[in-house]
Structure 1
Amino acid sequence: MSIIGLGFDATDIPRVREVFARHGERFLRRVFTDEEIAYCTRQRDPVPSLAGRFAAKEAAMKALGTGHSRGVLWKDIEVFRRGGPPQLRLTGGALRRFEAMRAARSLLTITHADTLAMAQVLLLSD
């Protein structure tokens, strides 16, 4: 296996808190999938989880080499967890780019420290 994509992002949790307070549901619906919203809003304080997922989406876009353009939408990248480490579910433009890169799998890690949520994404080939 070879690393064919690498992305990292650090997201300011207070900034996400401010955007969430100002735009609420509009912000959530623009950036996150229904499953992500349900998971985060079950938390006592949803903002750190939202910030972690935001950082993961940014890191994934960097690993894909697309940034916020070239046909990849926020909701094309979903962060989910099924009893283990967080994982990415790619759809739409993100999945098309992943396949065009001939990636076989992705690895995601998310961490929080004080006022930052950080995420790293590796894309691996066979």
Structure 2
Amino acid sequence: MIKGIGIDLIELDRIAQSLKNSDRLAKRVLTENELEIFYSFPLETRKVEFLAGRFAAKEAFAKAVGSGIGKLSFQDMEILPQEGNAPVFRATGYQHNRIFISITHSRDYAAAQVVIEADNTMHN
């Protein structure tokens, strides 16, 4: 059973401008594991895409949950690549849910969609 659906879109320019000043946004949005991946990219454009995609995905998750960022921390959500580089979303307190995620980039935008499915084996 679907518990929530969320989507978010962000301009890459906004992220690029923020990164020109400092990496504060990256440290706020990304977990330690995600930061390790972020810092491994040699090209600034790839760093922007990565951070924007993670930002959009975490915002989309918060929308799917219905709480928004604020009640959820960016640090409570993590998106790491699995086999074939497909992103896998994990969130504290949502281990008993299946979380489907899609992240995409264009020249100007990053977008993400999240679907949260309740675990049918859970009995309430």
| TM-score normalised to structure 1 length | 0.84
> Superposition RMSD on alpha carbons, in Å?
1.5
The whole-number CA distance in structure 2 between the counterparts of 1:111 and 1:34 is: 22
Deviation for aligned residue 1:30: 1.5
> Gaps (5+ residues) in structure 1?
none
Which amino acid is 1:3 matched to? I
Distance (whole Å) between structure 2 residues aligned to residue 83 and residue 13 of structure 1: 26
What amino acid does structure 2 have at the position aligned with 1:5? G
Runs of 4+ in structure 1 deviating by more than 2 angstroms, as ranges, are none
Q: Which runs of 5+ in 2 are unaligned?
A: none
Give the structure 2 partner of residue 18 of structure 1.
17
Deviations, residues 53-90 of structure 1 (Å, cap 9, x unaligned)? 110010011011110223x1111111111224211111
Match of 1:120 in 2: 113
Give TM-score scaled by structure 2 length: 0.85
Q: Which amino acid aligns with 2:65?
A: L
Per the alignment, residue 50 of structure 2 pairs with 49
| Identity %, equivalent residues | 34
The whole-number CA distance in structure 2 between the counterparts of 1:79 and 1:9 is 15
Q: How many residues align?
A: 115
